[in-house]
Structure 1
Amino acid sequence: MISHSPWLLLAVAVTLYSASIIVYRLFFHPLARFPGPKLAAATRWYEAYFDILKWPGGYFMFEMQRMHRVYGPVVRITPDELHIRDSTWISKLYVSPTEKSVAEFEATIYQNIHLMLDNVARQTAQDGISEMRTNYLAFTTDTVTGLCFRRPLGLLEDDEQAVAWRETTAAVASLTPLAKQFRWLVPIALRIPMFILEGLVPSLSRIVKLRHDMKAAARSATEEREATRSTEKSADEAHAGNRADIFQKILSSDALSPSDKTVDRLAQEGFHAITAGSETTARVLATATYFVLASKQAVMPRLQDELRTVMPYLDSKPPIRDLEQLQWLTPISVSLRDVLLDEEIYPDPMEFRPERWLSDNPELERMSQFWVPFSRGSRMCLGINLALGELYIALASTFRRFPDMELFETLRERDIDVSHDYFLGEASASSQGVRVKAKGGYPS
């Protein structure tokens, strides 16, 4: 009688199971009829290879572009996912966003942008240059944490902490492809003792600490909400005269179910508010600053003329509704890449042409239908109004205060153009950031 090793039987079972999954995905899966590489349809390891193993990582977005060139506008990119590269689908898949006022954010945004510009002036005086990506990240992070939690991280008051936070977000972003493929890594990281993380991976420890802080803040907010219910004073009255933070707004919402108000859910919402509302806007601001300065002779005279109409003084603080009327201050963003870079909608999309957004462009209405950097519908960015407010105020204040600002050894190919996808489209690993010399401006 032939005896079989348990390991051999296990190997055979795993092989048969894997083969059956592959056969199902290739021939019987609901997406089997859609075109695309067979290997991508069979396993997510195809995506993992381009995002993790192919240097410099985060390369799957470029592989998807190749797929569309080969297979057409609709491609099966993973066993369970289709990708559509047809801008006309936007109006079918999403509804248009509504507009809301951002007036309540203005005072905080102006306060923080002037702190940031003071830092830029000081750094230029001390070191000869200032790196704008780090400064913008400090500005957006302190703004979103101040508005959402009534307690900014204080990055605008500490250059070293600002640099450390920039390094942290970059390091964590580089782990995004791994976390996307191996979702069990994040829960494990959250359970590792802080002293071990601080010794092994300092950058990751800062993010994990932020997650723990968010959970503690969420628990405190929940207890505070319960305490106000047990007194004669209502929760709404308790916060009268004080702007409620994001936790109190969620807890007081009648539209959300109890499952949406648990401590863990609140902590996740708070963490996402910080990470999604800081690095994204900072990247856009740094990119916009580069393109304005790189096209300085063509852009700056018109931009300065428009800015003076609403900002007669260097420290003027016009309402956002006035800045929105300045056509050359239209925000530039990077998201939903295929639509925003569709050459049939935006000729030469990689060229910086702010005049394409002026009112005398006959294609403006059509182009605006496909301007979706914040997405649309149920997945639309919830922070769109805050982000737009930051973009308008930050760019207007920066170029009004420093009309003679110049780039310093900043190259588009190295420091701006996207080379990989780490949560955001990022520049080359050798990038030195958007470095400038901030000339002029009033003394701090």
Structure 2
Amino acid sequence: MSSTPLREHSAVGKLFHTLSISQVLALVAALLIVRFSVRAICRIWFHPLSKFPGPKLRAATRIPSHIEVWKGNKHHRFAALHRRYGHVVRVNHDELSWTEPNAWKDIYGHGTKGTPGSAPHKHWLRYGQTMNGSPNLIQARDVDHNRQRKIFTPAFSDRALKQQESLFIKYTNQLVSKLKEGIEDNPTKSFDMVRMFNFTTFDIMGDLTFGEPLHMLSNAEYDPWVSIIFSSIKIGSRLRIMVYYHWIWRAFKLITPKGSNRKRYSHFQHSVTRVTKRLEKGRATEGIDLWDFVLAQKEGKGLTRGEMDSNASLFMIAGTETTATLLSGLLYKLLEKPVCMTKLVEEIRGAFSSSDDMTIEQLASLPYFAACIKEALRLYPPVPLGLPRVTPENGSTVCGQFIPPNTICMIPQYAMYTHPENFRNPLQFLPERWLGDPAYEDDQRQCLQPFSVGSRDCVGKNLAYHEMRLVMAKVLYAFDFELEPESEKWTEQETYILWQKKPLMCKLKAARYTHKAQHTHE
């Protein structure tokens, strides 16, 4: 056996033994700098994505992206990058961001036939895992996703939601009653409409999902369960930075004290407890709720108990906060532009003799109302950032460009919807752009896909539309709103996956009159 390796090892050991601590640290720092520099050069000029435009620093390192996540300004930074570099930007060494209108079908849909490669799939690492390891609709692989989707799709159909209309009306009327009681007790009182909308959407979803509300409207305060959800979003978004550095992430999980994940566990257990209570009731005797469709499945084709729990936990976030976000954003945009508020109020109050006459079908037929909702979704999308997809081993074709394997692709919604090449006057609230105004005939209206596209689009989009129309119509029928000065520039918010909404403080007055209905509904 040769003694050469031993002599070399001894020489290295002697070298480090003769160096001081400061010299060792300097040597390590120098090696790290060399490593970083070499890797940066390779990523910038020799990486398969080097032909795509974008800042050199972002191609070299993820640090700028991590800073944006930490500060919550990623939506604004991406919008600025696309305005500067165009519809496709290299935002990290292995990541492309798109704002081209036709990118939706190639990234999130089934792709374009006859082009090289296959459609991108979900970037599973970024979607994490559920507490019990049973995948929900978002995290399930294709086979499980298809099975779950077939179960839940009928539950969110227009037909099923029509059967739940009385439930939506019940809590929306309760919201109006609470607001009326508040101004009767104190006419100068201000209301945080973010809270009021959240109370309503969580009570609705609680009843739809578990057969009982969270009583947030009755108690006029957040259920502890909901408080846990809100408090975990920001910190969870920041902690995900460590996932990109496996040794840091593993070390973090090792040193994290037991119980530090208590909030997430507590949220999940709330779902488990409520699912148990709902299952004990069996099939509903009156009406239909979500679990009637679950319980109606044949043995072997339904959900496992773990999947029931994980999906219930998902619905209580995805089906509530996002709807309340759009309602808050729409109300603010209307208050910011009184001429639009006046037009919408006239349309709603002119269509019904009483708020009791409102139905989800009739509200869906109001054209200016529909335009206002679309414009609010454009300027204040509930999910402002991109949902990551990754190209498969044979690559993908997006908008006619071949994308190499293992490339992360996404569409940041806020950046796409405010790109000047997609919409004229992109930062202005202009509902007429959706009503055939010739001044906006060149707008790329197909851009607007707030619920995504393809087989993994939002299963609850019908619910969201019906709910937001009913809630907004009822409150605008009953009240005149005035924005408090403290809530001016309300949309200047940070984003951590979702918007970090500030209080939307408003004064309310009972509507003095309503217009006589201009037409009758069958």
Superposed pair shares fold, TM > 0.5: yes
Relative to structure 1, is the Cα distance of residues 349 and 38 closer, same or farther in structure 2, using a 3 angstrom cutoff? closer
Residue aligning to 2:238: 178
Task: From 13, 35, 41, give the equivalent of 2:53.
Answer: 35
Q: Does 1:84 align with 2:102?
A: no
1:302 Cα shift? 3.4
1:66 Cα shift? 3.3
Relative to structure 1, is the Cα distance of residues 179 and 95 closer, same or farther in structure 2, using a 3 angstrom cutoff? same
* Structure 1 Cα separation of the partners of residues 352 and 444 of structure 2: 29
Relative to structure 1, is the Cα distance of residues 103 and 81 closer, same or farther in structure 2, using a 3 angstrom cutoff? same
Residue aligning to 2:482: 406
Which structure is larger by alpha-carbon Rg, 1 or 2?
2
* Structure 2 Cα separation of the partners of residues 367 and 211 of structure 1: 41
Aligned residue pairs, count: 404
* Structure 1 Cα separation of the partners of residues 454 and 472 of structure 2: 28
Q: Does 1:319 align with 2:359?
A: yes
* Structure 2 Cα separation of the partners of residues 354 and 72 of structure 1: 26
Q: Which amino acid aligns with 1:104?
A: Q
Task: From 274, 283, 287, give the equivalent of 2:329.
Answer: 287
* Structure 2 Cα separation of the partners of residues 72 and 256 of structure 1: 49
Give me the TM-score of the superposition, normalised by structure 2: 0.65
* Structure 2 Cα separation of the partners of residues 441 and 189 of structure 1: 62
* Structure 2 Cα separation of the partners of residues 281 and 31 of structure 1: 37
Residue aligning to 2:288: 243
Relative to structure 1, is the Cα distance of residues 367 and 32 closer, same or farther in structure 2, using a 3 angstrom cutoff? closer
Task: From 160, 172, 190, give the equivalent of 1:113.
Answer: 172
Q: Which amino acid aligns with 1:115?
A: Q
* Aligned partners of 1:177 and 1:422 also within 8 Å: yes
1:289 Cα shift? 1.5
1:361 Cα shift? 5.3
Deviation per residue, 1:175-209 (Å, 9 max, x gap): 2431331356998999943xx77xxxxxx83x542
- Determine helix, strand or coil for the equivalent of 1:209: helix
* Structure 1 Cα separation of the partners of residues 299 and 49 of structure 2: 36
* Structure 2 Cα separation of the partners of residues 304 and 326 of structure 1: 11
User: Gaps (5+ residues) in structure 2?
Assistant: 1-9, 111-152, 244-248, 382-412, 514-522
Residue aligning to 1:374: 451
Q: Does 1:329 align with 2:379?
A: no
* Structure 2 Cα separation of the partners of residues 352 and 276 of structure 1: 26
* Aligned partners of 1:190 and 1:208 also within 8 Å: no
1:355 Cα shift? 2.8
CA RMSD of aligned residues (A): 4.1
Bigger mean CA deviation after superposition, 139-148 or 59-68: 59-68
Task: From 51, 60, 72, give the equivalent of 1:58.
Answer: 72
Bigger mean CA deviation after superposition, 63-72 or 106-115: 63-72
Q: Which amino acid aligns with 1:276?
A: A
Residue aligning to 1:229: none
Q: Does 1:418 align with 2:492?
A: yes
- Determine helix, strand or coil for the equivalent of 2:433: helix
- Determine helix, strand or coil for the equivalent of 1:243: coil
Task: From 209, 212, 232, give the equivalent of 2:269.
Answer: 212
- Determine helix, strand or coil for the equivalent of 1:381: coil
Kindly indicate whether structure 1 or structure 2 has the higher relative contact order, using CA contacts under 8 Å at least 6 residues apart: 2
* Aligned partners of 1:120 and 1:438 also within 8 Å: no
1:323 Cα shift? 0.7
Q: Which amino acid aligns with 1:209?
A: S
* Structure 1 Cα separation of the partners of residues 255 and 470 of structure 2: 37
Residue aligning to 2:211: 150
1:24 Cα shift? 5.7
* Aligned partners of 1:293 and 1:405 also within 8 Å: yes
Relative to structure 1, is the Cα distance of residues 84 and 161 closer, same or farther in structure 2, using a 3 angstrom cutoff? closer
Q: Which amino acid aligns with 1:418?
A: E
Q: Does 1:68 align with 2:68?
A: no
- Determine helix, strand or coil for the equivalent of 1:211: helix
User: Gaps (5+ residues) in structure 1?
Assistant: 198-203, 226-234
Q: Which amino acid aligns with 1:303?
A: L
- Determine helix, strand or coil for the equivalent of 1:143: helix
Q: Does 1:139 align with 2:204?
A: no
* Structure 2 Cα separation of the partners of residues 220 and 33 of structure 1: 56
Residue aligning to 1:2: 11
Deviation per residue, 1:316-343 (Å, 9 max, x gap): 1422111111112121223311232233
* Structure 1 Cα separation of the partners of residues 172 and 346 of structure 2: 21
Bigger mean CA deviation after superposition, 40-49 or 106-115: 40-49
Q: Does 1:434 align with 2:505?
A: yes
- Determine helix, strand or coil for the equivalent of 1:288: helix
Deviation per residue, 1:370-428 (Å, 9 max, x gap): 322222223422211111011110111011111x3322325432x2x23321222345x
* Structure 2 Cα separation of the partners of residues 105 and 132 of structure 1: 24
Q: Which amino acid aligns with 2:484?
A: F
Q: Which amino acid aligns with 1:139?
A: T
1:221-236 alignment runs, 5 A limit: none
More helix by share: 1
Task: From 221, 236, 239, give the equivalent of 1:160.
Answer: 221
Relative to structure 1, is the Cα distance of residues 320 and 73 closer, same or farther in structure 2, using a 3 angstrom cutoff? same
Deviation per residue, 1:23-62 (Å, 9 max, x gap): 664455433432323332333333112221xxxx112222
Q: Which amino acid aligns with 1:79?
A: H
* Aligned partners of 2:98 and 2:416 also within 8 Å: no
Relative to structure 1, is the Cα distance of residues 142 and 390 closer, same or farther in structure 2, using a 3 angstrom cutoff? same
Deviation per residue, 1:241-288 (Å, 9 max, x gap): 553435x64576579978xx4554443322221112212111211121
Task: From 59, 62, 85, give the equivalent of 1:44.
Answer: 62
* Aligned partners of 1:345 and 1:367 also within 8 Å: yes
Residue aligning to 1:232: none
* Structure 1 Cα separation of the partners of residues 271 and 38 of structure 2: 43
